[in-house]
Amino acid sequence: MSSLREQLRARERPSLDYELPVGDAFGAKRDLAAAEDAHRQALRLLAKAATAEGAGDDEAAQAAVAETRQAVAQAEQALDACYVHIKLVAMPPDEYEALKALHPPRPGTDDKEYDSTTFPRECFLACATELTPEEWEPILRENLTHAEREDLFLLAEAVNTRLVNAALPKGSRSTRSS
């Protein structure tokens, strides 16, 4: 068993994944729903074939279930291919605070902790390490919607400022009755 020190030193910083659509997710969801409907129908036919009134249709019904199960799996894969996952990793706390200090609040604005026009982008660029800032810049400018970009900026701040979950697990000493 490792010590508390070892467990804490081995802990990775928090991270969040953002699913960014890169394909026709709506069409893929529609295709998946149709495949799932066909699979449910095939299962109903198989259940009916197992009864006396459907005797003799069992083999065809089993084949239909297998075929529709495969269609569901293919539709799920097609839906998954419509997204890329952008991983945002929290910065070390000292680096996060130093970055905020580089972007002080602007006088005469609603800014509280940092310059709201510059810090969110820089925070994102520091947390999204799968690409370099130079690679991210044209993507942020040209390939994302305003809402997607804002979501990414908010998530970058959230991964750095997340609160500890106050909920205690079942059976915790603090929740046991005396």
pLDDT in tens, 122-149: 999 999 999 999 999 999 999 999 999 9
Q: What is the DSSP string of 144-168?
A: S-HHHHHHHHHHHHHHHHPPPP-PP
Model confidence at 117: pLDDT above 60: yes
DSSP-assigned beta bridge partners for residue 83 = 21
pTM assigned to the model: 0.73
User: pLDDT value at position 54?
Assistant: 53
User: pLDDT value at position 48?
Assistant: 85
User: pLDDT value at position 149?
Assistant: 97
pLDDT in tens, 12-35: 999 999 999 999 999 999 999 999
